[in-house]
Chains A and B, each alone.
Chain A
Amino acid sequence: MTTRAEYCVIACAEAWRGGGEILASPMGLIPSVGARLARLTFAPDLLLTDGEATLVRPDGTAEGWLPYRQHLELVTGGRRHVMMGASQIDRYGNQNISCIGDWARPVRQLLGVRGAPVNTLNNPTSYWVPRHSRRVFVERVDMVCGVGYDRAAGARHHRIPRVVSDLGVFDFATPDHAMRLASVHPGVTVEEVREATGFALVVADDVPCTREPTAAELRLIREVLDPGNTRAREVPL
């Protein structure tokens, strides 16, 4: 039986479908498995790093050098699709990883803006949320790090292809770019998603299920990419 974590891997992998010869930058465990799955199956031209300064093939063979200074140049060159985390995200895709509460004196200091501003203005940026809740999917984020559609006027390279959570897949394919429920993972109801979201989602009458993995994909996930089942630590279902 396919686990929820495995549907999440599939949903993350799909972010890079059709991306071509670009750098896949997954942040977090399940997006990393997803990016490598895409690279081994339907997106063979993707570039991947070892998480530090080396571009590597799936077998670990080094094929290039990408220190931070060049990575930042690759970001602004646009040939990259990053999947970042989000401590908060709102209906237009504004994302926060900096702090919770008033920025001047935060209740909870988090990472800082990191590269979210440069990412969102320069290359496709998707998000991964392992625990979908009203604390993450909020009406307004406390600090806009990643730029959402309502603040991206004139940003010619801005695009948020998808948000993947442990409950489903979301996109912004609506007239005003408000977040839409694109698919629910099998076993999840639309009501459950609505309940766990702090704003009104756009929901079609018929919401499809996230697709099933192929037998070959399941084998790759379980035997090659994540034999230790670390994915279950991020999404335990």
Chain B
Amino acid sequence: MSDKTMTAEEAVSRLESGMTLGIGGWGSRRKPMALVRALLRSGVTDLTVVSYGGPDVGMLAAAGRIRKLVAAFATLDSIPLEPHYRAARERGAFELMEVDEAMFLWGLRAAANRLPFLPVRAGIGSDVMRVNPSLRTVTSPYDDGETFVAMPALRLDAALVHVNRADRLGNGQYLGPDPYFDDLFCAAADTAYLSCERIVDTAELTKAAPPQTLLIKRHVVTGVVEVPGGAHFTSCAPDYGRDEAFQKRYASTPWAEFAARYLAGDEAAYRAAVEEDA
């Protein structure tokens, strides 16, 4: 059994410019922000990012690391519009594959199942077809004869996700109300880096929680990173809620100023700056 623990820096050092990168969580909820911060400290760029977008997308867009984005939205939840994503879109900073939330999910499922596409009853009739001219349709071979979008597999070079607990082998556990789609991101990716609030012994995982909280299985995980507060400032229930005050600061501070204050140093420096400004 191999110990997969590594630092955020080690995880990011295995990523390369030009990769297709899936990022777990949803909006401003349980995003692998410490891994994103490590990515921002690295030189990795020219990324195709696949995400139910939140501040992960906003920060990478603001830093000019995204060549292409695959998404159905970008939001900070309590602040409906992601300001840095928005600014980047309005200056035409990257290519966008804008798809519906269900199309996005079916694309991940197709990749996880090694299928070239999955049929989905979403997108037909909408401008999703106009802005994605590469999308094809498929007609049911049965009596209904219905036409569907053939949503192509969203295969990923790497996935970044954050959960509440994990063991050193890569078994990942969520303890909040929603798993989001982190297991699918990992299964759709060639390599997956799992950060967690706390690494515990395998036996510890099911001492107080049922086995169905074990969302991510070790065979799809490449590296495990222990980083308490690793989803900050997004929520990571039940360990902590969203840091609304800090999120407001993120949304209202010019990017260069924000990056200089919070992203110039390592994760410890980030934590210290956050605490100092709280």
Contact = CB atoms under 8 A, between A and B. Distances in A.
A113 B103 CA distance: 11
Interface in A4-49: none
Contact of A118 (B73, B103, B147): B103
B131 A118 contact: no
Nearest to A95: B126
B75 A154 contact: no
A112 B71 contact: yes
Contacts of A121: 121-122, 124-125
Given A54-B177, A68-B181, A156-B146, A113 B99 contact: yes
B59 to A, nearest CB: 16
B177 A53 contact: yes
Contacts of B100: 113-118
Contacts, number: 124
Interface in B37-89: 53, 71-75, 80-81, 85-86, 89
User: Is chain A's interface secondary structure helix, strand, loop, or mixed overall?
Assistant: loop
Q: How large is the interface on A (under 10, 10 to 19, 20 to 34, 35 or more residues)?
A: 35 or more
A107 B81 CA distance: 14
A72 B105 contact: yes
Contacts of A152: 125
A185 B123 CA distance: 34
A68 B26 contact: yes
B126 A113 contact: yes
A69 B26 CA distance: 11
A103 B126 CA distance: 13
B102 A115 contact: yes
Contacts of A216: none
A145 interface: yes
Nearest to A76: B121
Nearest to A104: B92
A121 B103 CA distance: 12
Nearest to B180: A68
Nearest to B102: A118
Interface of B: 26, 53, 71-75, 80-81, 85-86, 89-90, 92, 98-103, 105, 120-128, 130-131, 146-147, 177-181
Given A76-B122, A116-B100, A145-B126, 12 more contacts: A65-B177, A68-B26, A68-B181, A72-B102, A103-B127, A104-B131, A106-B89, A107-B90, A109-B85, A112-B74, A115-B101, A154-B146
